[in-house]
Amino acid sequence: MSMPRFVILEHDHPIPHCDLMLEAGDALQTWRLAQPPEVQRIIESTALDDHRVMYLDYEGPVSGNRGSVKRWDVGDFTEEQESTPTARLLSMQGARIHGHVRLEQIDGKNWRFVWLTR
């Protein structure tokens, strides 16, 4: 069985940000990151509705005049057994991201992306 994939897309609408997408069956669980993961260790994030799996391999315009996306990184991830629904521990292996990340829910749709190791 293959490992689930992730993608980080640079998205230019409504303001420049990145979208982190984690493969979960036939959908992508998605968070908007205020900036690319390489900028700092802790990044404020917002949970978004699930996206279509096609975005794992897509670059270009987004429907509904919602800007365009460009791939920043793509790779595989595993979720650690210690994960909970509000504190997800991930081991990510991509071209730019190699290491452990924690996605932690602050409240509602407000989350934090935290580098644990690089």
Residue in the structure block whose two tokens are 């897509």: 58
DSSP 58: -
In this model, does residue 39 exceed pLDDT 80?
A: no
Beta strands in 1-118, from DSSP E residues, in sequence order: 5-11, 17-24, 27-33, 42-51, 60-61, 68-79, 87-94, 98-107, 110-115
- pLDDT 10s digits, 45-103: 999 999 999 999 999 999 888 899 999 999 999 999 999 999 999 999 999 999 999 99
What is the model's pTM? 0.93
The CA–CA distances, whole Å, from 115 to 15, 25, 55, 90 equal: 23, 25, 23, 10
In this model, does residue 1 exceed pLDDT 80?
A: no
In this model, does residue 26 exceed pLDDT 90?
A: yes
Domain limits, the chain: 5-115
CA distance 101 to 94: 13
